[in-house]
Chain A
Amino acid sequence: MSLLLRAVLRQLVAERWTTVSVVVGITLAVLSIVAVHLLAEAVKSQLDRSSPGSALGLSHMLHRGALHENDYFELRARWRVGSLASVEALVPILEGRVTARRDAKALPRRLPIRVVGLDPLALPGASRSAIPSLDGDRSWLTGSAGWISAGSDLVVGESLELPNIDGPVVIIAEVEIRSTFDDPVLLVDIGTAQRILDRPGELTRIGVLRRIEERAWMRVAERLFPGLGARRYVTDAPWKVSGYQVEVLQDNGQRLFSGAVLFNLSALSLLSVVVAGFLIHQSAVNSIRQRERVFDRLRALGIDERRLVLQVVFEGLIVALIGSVFGLVLGWWIAGWLGQLALGETASSLLDGAEGTAIAWAAGKALVFGPLVGCGSMWVAYRSVFGGVRKRRDGLLVGCLMMLGGGVSFSATGVAGAFLAIAAAALAAALLVGPALVFWAQAPRGMATLVGLLNRRNLAHRSADVRVALGGLVIALATAIGMSLMVSNFRVAFEAMLDQRLSADAYVESRVGFTEAELAELRSIVGPDSTIRVERREDGWMRAAGAGRLGASFIYDAGDVDALRRYGFPGPLPAGGILLNEPGARRHGITPGDLVEVSGSHGTLELTVVDIFRDYGASSPRVVVAPETGAALFGTTAPRAVAIAGLDSEHSTALYRFAERNEWRTRSDADVRSLALAVFDRTFRLSDALVMLAVAVAVVGLFNALVAVRLRRAHEFRLLHSMGFSVGEFLRLNLWHAGMLGVHAVLVALPLGLGIGWLLCGVLNPRAFGWSIPFSVSAEALLVPAALGLAGALLAGALPGLRTIIRGDYLDA
């Protein structure tokens, strides 16, 4: 074994350029896996924290007109006998506003604050640990201490005088709470809050944590491939609790959306690994072919095949281990930077707080993926040099095409089918790139100089030394093209949807619904120039012919043309017609013109789907119906949201104040829109970075292959040198060769990239997330990766070229 080790190490040192570039390739690939893993963990924990239920870790709120402690106890009793499926926590909450008096020195002395009382011990475990000094300092139990929301003027240690209680309340720590209001939020025990607000025995709502069922293997799969389980956020039915209005806090649409993004990122990090595999394979083939005679001699000495294979695989293992360790360290380091790109400033703090298991998983993935790819590609390379793998290429090609056709045509193959179709297309292109290069280089052309002819023939002659690396470059570039086509089309469609949907200036929601009197008052407050659109939403069911009953949410606005335009429908809605969102339509296989049965609390109707609207981020069916239809389904209900347009700043201040007094939630559509777009852009900047990494790995692979080509052409270069070839001419020769390889890679990558873009928009996204993306081709999406590929190839050609010239290698040969 020690002799084997010594032989392997000497080999790695002797071919140090190859070794170094393979290490670099593996490092980059492992880096992207590690960074994506850590980021996925950060994104998930950010999502857990950023829902409105926030630090409390709650998923739903239950409301009803007047709520008493006894209702809470009654609900707990129901929970205990198991009638509230998958509920993990029930928390009583009382909320109200008071004015606090601060220390003599603090300014302002009197401060309006929002008091939130709850039973911290009823919170789910994870949220309990998010509240500092909950278990250590028990003074909050006696009503002499509380927590303040982060980012307010109040500081830890300060004591507040509050109405209706004797002693002051000391602030013992800050908690991360997202509040829809600007006022500081004081978190206290429920009993304390009831005394301060003088509402003994009363509650405003009951918080719930309800978990989506998750199987153990699903959790493992999600760790292995973040985003894989995004589909679980596609829920079948809205959760109902009899006697209560259910408010959903954890927005599953948002989770589905970020799951979709993570899914993309995971796929892209795997891409780097695949490209690194190509890189290792190419350098292994070149290095083994260089040593072909040595292997023959060793065989002649009686060394058996297994030992030779072992030596080669061992080389791969050592290089891959080194690369993986580098990649792990760099990935950890770079994840923070990538996180800033994608998540903003919060990322670094999220990563600092990464739990041990996340790090262990990242390390495990690095140390498994890297060596696996390293040993695997070495073994395949050995087999392809000595075992005649090439004969199988035609069969492989046919297999790829069948997989592509099957994956696209049979939607039953689902996400896996779409994924395999993309992989098959990429593999087919990688297999064809070598023969295409030979064909292209040998195509008859007009008069050329001899040097030109020599260059062109070399392209074909040395194609075996570069074709695998070229295949890697083609895959990386095509993915860059496909991704940027997908992202640019997605962005256009997403923005168009936001423009339609979020056209109001302000949006006001009441958890329990607006009364007629409140609506009249709202109208008088926003002034005569503003228009108010009342939105009614209720949860019901729908059933398509031959399909099961599915929960759906129903929207019935004023029913006028303006309201319908928000869903891209030019119309008024014809009698008996409804609009259905795309995720709903896909899950039922519904197309415009189909009849569906819809039912609400008051009745069941059979209606025609007249149009399907795009609904990115939606996880379940949403149905737009005419107001009369809505009334027939649900009876007369109180509207729970109004959208106000044409609001000027003076009226909007008045509106916000009024809404706050009534504990209504308000938001500005413009803010939501720009926030959504900012998040979109940031996230996809990350995918750009990952694609760049994959392209970089491919360029390293090409560099490596070109070093080998240079080695093989050493005699030729010596000859040219003796014939008076100058340094500049050698550089031009090398650049020409590399540049032509780049052009060739781009030419193959362009159609493949278009195909991948189309598959992502039209096949993968609909199957994975239920939404499709209209596909159109933009010049930028094609040209930027093309230019990148060419520049990368030239760089890969210039580096070994310079080295050859500086060291004068062609003389030693």
Chain B
Amino acid sequence: MIRFESVSKRFLDGDVERTVLRRYSFEVSDGTTVSLVGPSGSGKTTVLNLIAGLDVADSGDVLVELNGVTLSLKGMSSAARARYRRQSIGYIFQFFNLIPTLTVAENVRLPLELTGRRDLEAEALSRLDALGLAGREDSFPEQLSGGEQQRVAIARALAHRPAIILADEPTGNLDAENAGRVVDLLCEQAAAAGATLVLATHSEFVAGHAHQRLDLQR
């Protein structure tokens, strides 16, 4: 379960302070797919970063319940947040999701090495087949198309069985056909793994795949 308790987040833009989130609250239950919708600059990425512990709320708190334990992200040290991220988060960005100097298979294995879960290797690599990437294991990211790269990113984000998957415009630079395929696969795989999926998007089509919808205003 992810819960925002009247979270505020401000950024300094030069000398001007900009409030992106003002006393924002919501709750997402485990295993659901949530879409985060709003125009550019409304704070979608900010919300994802707060969930991932990459950013910390200025006031209010982000609470994450994992295996019956509730973590208050605000109270955690940066090292503890890094550990939490490593174990429980799979993050998919709009682009540059893969490490260019590692092959497809190596990119997928990387989170397993970081979490020490080598036992999940077979499962993670077999997911590549399910994502239609059979035979591309030894390719380097630059040899793949944009859609293929995003599908590898899904495999990578799911590899270590994280409880939460965060996807920030995962289809932003794909054509409609590819975008549909990637979102379908993402939702399908997340549901199969029982993970909570938070999908930031400004596309109504993508938002339509979710169980729950959160709207953000500028």
Contact = CB atoms under 8 A, between A and B. Distances in A.
* A and B associate in one complex: yes
Contacts of B113: 449-451
A454 B54 contact: no
B187 interface: no
Interface in B60-102: 78-79, 82-87, 89, 91, 93, 95-102
Interface stretch (B33-41, B104-112, B190-198): B104-112
B101 A719 contact: no
A715 B85 contact: no
A458 B86 CA distance: 22
Contact of A454 (B52, B82, B91, B101): B101
Instruction: Identify the interface centre among A458, A715, A719, A720: most chain B CB within 10 Å of its CB.
Output: A719
B85 A453 contact: no
Contacts of A449: 113
A727 B100 contact: no
B114 interface: yes
A462 to B, nearest CB: 9
A722 B110 CA distance: 12
A613 B16 CA distance: 80
A778 B100 CA distance: 44
B100 A461 contact: yes
B99 A724 contact: no
A723 B87 contact: no
A442 to B, nearest CB: 11
A457 B101 contact: yes
B82 A719 contact: no
For the complex of A and B, the 3 pairs showing the least CB-CB separation, nearest first, are A724-B86, A715-B96, A457-B101
B100 A723 contact: no
Given A450-B113, A726-B79, A727-B82, 10 more contacts: A450-B109, A451-B114, A454-B110, A461-B101, A715-B95, A722-B52, A723-B110, A724-B83, A726-B83, A728-B79
Contacts of B98: 719
Interface residues of B, number: 28
For the residues of A in contact with B, the DSSP-based class is helix
A323 to B, nearest CB: 30
B54 A719 contact: no
Given A725-B82, A726-B79, A719 B87 contact: no
Interface string A700-732: 000000000000000110111111111110000
Chain A CB within 10 A, most for which of B82, B97, B106? B82
A722 B98 CA distance: 12
Nearest to B80: A726
Given A453-B106, A461-B100, A727 B78 contact: yes
A450 B110 contact: yes
How large, as a class, is the contact surface on chain A? 20 to 34
A811 interface: yes
A722 B111 CA distance: 11
A723 B91 contact: yes
A317 B116 CA distance: 53
Given A718-B96, A723-B86, A724-B84, A458 B91 contact: no
A547 B86 CA distance: 82
A454 B111 CA distance: 13
Contacts of B111: 723
Contact of A723 (B85, B96, B101, B106): B85
B86 A719 contact: no
Contacts of B83: 724, 726
Contacts of A715: 95-96
Contacts of B97: 719
Contact of A724 (B85, B93, B102): B85
Contacts of A454: 99, 101-102, 106, 110
Nearest to A813: B96
Contacts of B52: 722
Most buried by B among A450, A716, A720: A450
B54 A721 contact: yes
A458 B101 contact: yes
A722 B91 contact: yes
Contacts of B101: 454, 457-458, 461
A722 B85 contact: yes
Nearest to B82: A726
A723 B78 CA distance: 13
A454 B84 CA distance: 23
B116 to A, nearest CB: 11
A722 B167 CA distance: 12
Given A450-B113, A453-B106, A726-B79, A719 B85 contact: no
A722 B82 contact: no
Contact of B102 (A450, A721, A725, A727): A450
B87 A453 contact: no
